[in-house]
Structure 1
Amino acid sequence: MQKGKVLSLEDRIPKIKEHRKRRANRRLIFLLTLFFLLIVCVVYIQSPLSQINKIEVYGNNLVSKNEITKVSSLKKGDNIWKVNKGQASKKIMELPEVKKAGVRLEFPNNIVIDIKEYSPIALIVSDKEFLPVLENGTILKNSTMLADAPLLINFKKGPFLDELAAQLKDIPSEILNAVSEIHYEPKETDKYHIYIFMNDGFEISATITTLSTKMIHYPSIVSQLDPKVKGVINLEVGSFFKAYDLEEEVKSEEEEER
């Protein structure tokens, strides 16, 4: 039986030294890499690359870029890693025209603000001006005209206008585009009462709080009526039609001729 070969201490020392040398080299490489990364971080923090270079705003039509950036408190040259994106978004959403706002970092040092605004939904008649009304009830100060937008008569800023705007938002566009004017005419029994004048000549008596659910049925109601006989469609509680009194119309025309 052949015995295994036993290494002497002199034979083992070179291998131990080589192993320790490799471990020392790996440790040195690790320390040098860490030191290099620290230097890179320090240089980056001190360089313009760590500062906001540009602020881009997308999705805004009603609010200017300058106003949005001013409200956000973000400024060119600020440290990009100190930007509180959530807080900036919250500040921007305090603008009455802004529905949603998102702030994100675009590599390497640009800030992008994504905006979603409330949609203009009607025009309010105020001091002989036509001012756009947003779907949240906000009245814009500029007099930009809207195509096929209903005119709001006798309305003022407040809960009734806010509720009306919320209701108009839920009415299908093909029906809303057929609305010519909406007059606020409160009653003792209904503070939300309105009269709606349609482009097809019909008049609607309704209440603001149930307007969207009632107006959905307008096309089917009109389809059952004689288009030559105009009148008032009452949608306050149920739904019924009352034709205009033709005799009274003829009489009033004769009085005007006299």
Structure 2
Amino acid sequence: MSKKRKSVDKSLIISLIAIVIIFIAYLGSPLSKVRNISVKGVNDLGAQQVIDATELNDNSLLIGVFLRKNSISNKTHEKLPSVKSLDFQTKNFRDLVINVHEYQTLGLIYKHGYYYRIITGGKVLSNKIKAPIGNYPIYSGFDKKSQLKKITEIYRQFPASVKNNTSEIYNAHTKVNPYRLKIDMNDGNKVIADSRTVAKKMKYYPGIASQMKQKGVVDLEVGAYSYAFDDKK
């Protein structure tokens, strides 16, 4: 082996040793640990709630967070089912930013003195809520999982302005029409509709409501018309 080759090998070994020493020194220094944690992307969850679920703190190693990001994300989902996934990024070298991707909240149901959130797919979360949160509708009479999944998907298709105006949705089926719905609106009106057509017809609600001189009923079950509460129809 030539002297030049030996010199190159020796330099490479020294470089590798230096890298290992620097890495070990880094792991033992405060620079390797998380300094501050911030949370972005939460809608119905609290930032501290997410941090607690990840079990990350100012003693966590930054490199460990990124090596374990999938397991941290999965563990957080187990504790907070509305969390779809997490991703992480660093800021100012030591600050950790947790980006939260949540399943969409599509409403609430009331059972045994508590409210429960319903997310994408009609899944009901187990977390108990003492009072309604956000501007979400409350569903009543949809006892089967398949019914709840269907009605939340229907609500998801409402125009944004109509979603924000929707207070409660009731299963008001009859022998004549097993698909009948009643909807209470935040503006004081009520809607009668058919679950098979309501997703398309609710786009007409704002226009109809704006022409009503009194609060009343917007009937979308067959046609599309309105009448005041005191009208005998």
Query: Structure 1: 5+ residue runs without aligned partners?
Result: 1-19, 250-258
Residue in structure 1 matching 2:45, options 60, 63, 75: 63
SS in 1 for 2:158: coil
Aligned 1:91-130 pairs, distance under 5 A:
91-94=75-78, 95-106=80-91, 108-118=93-103, 122=107, 124-126=109-111
Report the Cα distance in structure 2 between the residues aligned to 1:157 and 1:36, rounded to whole angstroms. Answer: 65
CA contact (8 A) 1:118 1:135 kept: yes
Q: Residue 142 of structure 1: CA displacement?
A: 2.5
| Per-residue deviation, residues 205-243 of structure 1 (Å, max 9, x unmatched) | 221x543222123345567x87569556233xx535486
Q: Would the alpha carbon gap of residues 214 and 133 (structure 1) be closer, same or farther in structure 2, given more than 3 Å must change?
A: farther
Q: Residue 61 of structure 1: CA displacement?
A: 5.1
Residue in structure 2 matching 1:206, options 186, 189, 194: 194
- Does residue 1:216 correspond to 2:191, yes or no? no
| Per-residue deviation, residues 182-211 of structure 1 (Å, max 9, x unmatched) | 22223457655321244464531221x543
Report the Cα distance in structure 1 between the residues aligned to 2:147 and 2:209, rounded to whole angstroms. Answer: 27
Report the Cα distance in structure 1 between the residues aligned to 2:197 and 2:153, rounded to whole angstroms. Answer: 11
- Does residue 1:233 correspond to 2:215, yes or no? no
Q: Residue 56 of structure 1: CA displacement?
A: 3.4
Report the Cα distance in structure 2 between the residues aligned to 1:230 and 1:53, rounded to whole angstroms. Answer: 57
Q: Would the alpha carbon gap of residues 56 and 226 (structure 1) be closer, same or farther in structure 2, given more than 3 Å must change?
A: closer
CA contact (8 A) 2:34 2:62 kept: yes
Q: Would the alpha carbon gap of residues 60 and 240 (structure 1) be closer, same or farther in structure 2, given more than 3 Å must change?
A: closer
- Does residue 1:162 correspond to 2:134, yes or no? no
Q: With structure 1 as the length reference, what TM-score do the two structures score?
A: 0.61
- 1:42 is aligned to 24
- State the identity as a percent: 23
Code of the aligned partner of 1:85: K
Code of the aligned partner of 2:69: K
Report the Cα distance in structure 1 between the residues aligned to 2:224 and 2:171, rounded to whole angstroms. Answer: 20
SS in 2 for 1:164: helix
Code of the aligned partner of 2:54: S
CA contact (8 A) 2:54 2:73 kept: yes
Report the Cα distance in structure 1 between the residues aligned to 2:218 and 2:91, rounded to whole angstroms. Answer: 57
Report the Cα distance in structure 2 between the residues aligned to 1:184 and 1:63, rounded to whole angstroms. Answer: 29
Q: Would the alpha carbon gap of residues 190 and 110 (structure 1) be closer, same or farther in structure 2, given more than 3 Å must change?
A: farther
Code of the aligned partner of 2:194: A
Report the Cα distance in structure 1 between the residues aligned to 2:11 and 2:217, rounded to whole angstroms. Answer: 91
Report the Cα distance in structure 1 between the residues aligned to 2:24 and 2:231, rounded to whole angstroms. Answer: 90
Query: Structure 2: 5+ residue runs without aligned partners?
Result: none
| Per-residue deviation, residues 117-140 of structure 1 (Å, max 9, x unmatched) | 3455545455576x4745534466
SS in 2 for 1:216: helix
Q: Residue 88 of structure 1: CA displacement?
A: 1.8
Report the Cα distance in structure 1 between the residues aligned to 2:212 and 2:50, rounded to whole angstroms. Answer: 52
